Amino acid sequence: MDDPARLRIPFPCQHDGCLRAAAIVEVSRRGQLYINDEQDIIYRVFPDAQGTIRIIGFLPYTSFASQVPDLAATILAVQSIDAAALYALDRTWIPFYCPDCDRSFCEDHWNLKPIFDWGFDHYSGTCPVGHPHFIDHC
């Protein structure tokens, strides 16, 4: 299996006619040379984590990293740009994906508003078709 230290794959927006990327999905394998503070905390809290996953270039406040318990399955889903498979692994990983549409959308096509409670708390709104969507900061 191809097991790079860090994988970055753009997921295209699937709104008709949109040429933008919905977001870039980054998967980092544990044990790579450079880890940031966020990854350091994740590895302390989740000693069994095999790596981390992060969303780049979607909405502000959604680029937090999450622990990856099964790196092989995660890398396979990201390399095949299979948002449904990623969503099945963990439904909090890819906030740009609408499971009801089975499509990914860029931030221009979501109708989402950030809700603040002292700091950022969550996004709430709908996908382009009107399915309700909620993105929590975990």
CB 69 within 8 A of CB 50: yes
- CB of 7 vs Zn ion, minimal distance in Å: 23
- Least gap, CB of 24 to Zn ion (angstroms): 14
Site string for Zn ion, 1-40 (x = CB under 5 A): ------------x-x--x-x--------------------
Pick one of 78, 83, 127, 135: the residue that binds Zn ion (CB under 5 A).
127
Among 131, 132, 134, 136, binds Zn ion (CB under 5 A): 131
Q: Outline where the chain has alpha helix (H).
A: 37-45, 71-79, 83-89
Residue 33: CB atoms within 10 A of its CB come to 5
Q: How far is CA 129 from CA 42, 74, 102, 108, 112, in A?
A: 35, 28, 12, 13, 13
| Residue 129 in contact with Zn ion, rule: CB under 5 A | yes
**Least Å from the CB of residue 82 to Zn ion:** 17
Residue pair 59/128 in contact by the 8 Å Cβ criterion: no
Tally helices (H) and strands (E) across the chain: 3, 9
Question: Least CB distance from residue 136 to Zn ion, whole Å?
Answer: 18
Quick one: 30 or 109, whose CB is closer to Zn ion? 109
Listed ranges 31-39, 59-67, 78-86, 90-98: which one lies at the site for Zn ion (CB under 5 A): 90-98
